[in-house]
Amino acid sequence: MSQHAPSRGRLVEVVVPVYNEARVLVSSVTRLHDYLSGTFPYSFRVTIADNASTDGTWELARGLAERLPHVRAVRLERKGRGRALRHVWRDSDADVVAYMDVDLSTGLEAFLPLVAPLLSGHSDVAIGTRLSRGASVVRGPKRELISRAYNLLLRLALGAGFSDAQCGFKAVRAEVAQALLPAVRDEEWFFDTELLLLAEHHGLRIHEVPVDWVDDPDSRVDILRTALADLRGVARVGRTLLRDPAVPRFALVGALSTVAHLGLFLLLGLVLPAVAANALALLVTAVGNTAANRRFTFGVRGAAGAVRHQLEGGVAFLIGLGVSSGSLALLHAVAPGPGRAVELAVVVAANALATLVRFLLLRGWVFHAGRPARAVRPEAGRADGPVRVLNTDIR
């Protein structure tokens, strides 16, 4: 195969983490090396990172490193994809560090579009996505459901703006990786997600590339074990919401809205049935709550998108109405004629649950940073310029 003349002074390092992959290692790495040699316009290095394999993978990796000019092999004595990526990325002399799964499920033609925005300085992180328009995916319904549910959870619970956290096809500017790595705690499959959440938290630009992706039916990933580990990682990262400036702002707006809601509920309850009084009080305060959160919690300025925000905020209103009114209806069905104090206690408890749901919807959908008509706070991080990451350890 003819060699494509590389651009001098630009080096991309592609890490292929492996554990007991003797079956596909030689064919996959040879294919990757030949493809990059023939089409990639930059200097490259393929690093096979062996995670304590026991099936002959390491011997094959060393053989490939001896035979192919742009391939090297490193071995770690402990398992963990995140551990392997950390080990190589941390000490890399490349301009951009990347990784892809050894099964090459992702079409290689997406690799140049993946790294080009990083080499140009346009973006800081780039990911392949199987969940956006333009992607072509062949996989079973079980994996499809798990993937979409996981990414929806990240969006709603943590406000993630990227569409696909799990695609094994990512790249990072080396200086960004080296700045973020000390704060990434996970050493296994959640490593990617945690890195992306940190990057987004600090205002770094994440570029997404729709990819062609074909599921490997002989994948060695333990889906259940990986899913549980990812959920633990989400819960750990979710605790950082308590340190998010949006939380106290939302709590203050919510407290004032709750007081207003309860006051209206008590006042309207003098002339209306409890369920009707609650619905009307919730409707009035929901409009004010959405407007206040728009301005003070999420920093959205101007009239652009205001109507849409109110309409989408109405979805959260309907959920809150269903929770609180349903609770009141259930109370009256179980204990007819409850006292006003009991009704008030039920409304408070139901409103607390509705408030949590409302915050997740506002953060992950209505005022999501990736949507239009969203002004950025002046104090938010910038994507350009030197990368500075301080006190980012997510515990």
Overall domain count for the chain: 2
pLDDT band at 5 (very low <50, low <70, confident <90, very high): very low
Yes or no: say if 19 and 57 are a contact pair by the CB < 8 Å rule: yes
Better pLDDT: 93 or 300: 93
The predicted pLDDT at position 221 comes to 59
Average pLDDT over residues 283-302: 85
Strand, helix or coil at 220? coil
What is each CA distance from 307 to 175, 366, 368, 369, in whole angstroms?
A: 41, 11, 15, 17
pLDDT digits (tens, 9 = 90+) for 234-273: 777 766 544 566 777 887 887 888 888 889 988 998 998 8
Domain end marker among 180, 208, 242: 242
Residues 144 and 44 occupy one common structural domain: yes
- Indicate if the pLDDT at residue 27 is higher than 90: yes
- Indicate if the pLDDT at residue 377 is higher than 60: no
| Mean of per-residue pLDDT scores for the chain | 82
Residues 31 and 175 occupy one common structural domain: yes
- Indicate if the pLDDT at residue 12 is higher than 80: yes
Residues 174 and 199 occupy one common structural domain: yes
- Residue 215 within any structural domain of the chain: yes
Structural domain harbouring 178: 7-242
- Residue 376 within any structural domain of the chain: no
Burial class for 363, CB neighbours closer than 10 Å (0-12, 13-18, 19+) = buried
- Residue 137: count of CB within 10 angstroms of its CB: 18
pLDDT digits (tens, 9 = 90+) for 85-138: 999 999 999 999 999 999 999 999 999 999 999 999 999 999 999 988 889 988
Q: Residue 264 — φ and ψ, nearest 5°?
A: -65, -40
The predicted pLDDT at position 102 comes to 94
- Residue 290 within any structural domain of the chain: yes
Domain end marker among 214, 242, 270: 242
The predicted pLDDT at position 319 comes to 74
- Residue 395 within any structural domain of the chain: no
The predicted pLDDT at position 79 comes to 92
> For residue 100, what are the β-bridge partners?
169
Do strands 125-129 and 42-51 pair parallel, antiparallel, or not at all (unpaired)? unpaired
Exposure on the CB side of residue 59, measured as CA atoms within 13 A: 5
In this structure, which amino acid lies at residue 241? Answer: L
Is the pTM for the entire model greater than 0.85? Answer: no
Residues 97 and 235 occupy one common structural domain: yes
Residues 274 and 318 occupy one common structural domain: yes
How far is Cα 365 from Cα 359, in angstroms, rounded to an integer? 10
Residues 122 and 235 occupy one common structural domain: yes
Residues 29 and 124 occupy one common structural domain: yes
Residues 206 and 275 occupy one common structural domain: no
CATH value at residue 191: 3.90.550.10
Residues with a catalytic annotation lie at: 192
Average pLDDT over residues 62-80: 96
Burial class for 72, CB neighbours closer than 10 Å (0-12, 13-18, 19+) = middle
pLDDT digits (tens, 9 = 90+) for 159-198: 788 989 989 999 999 999 999 999 898 898 899 999 999 8
Residues 155 and 223 occupy one common structural domain: yes
The predicted pLDDT at position 166 comes to 86
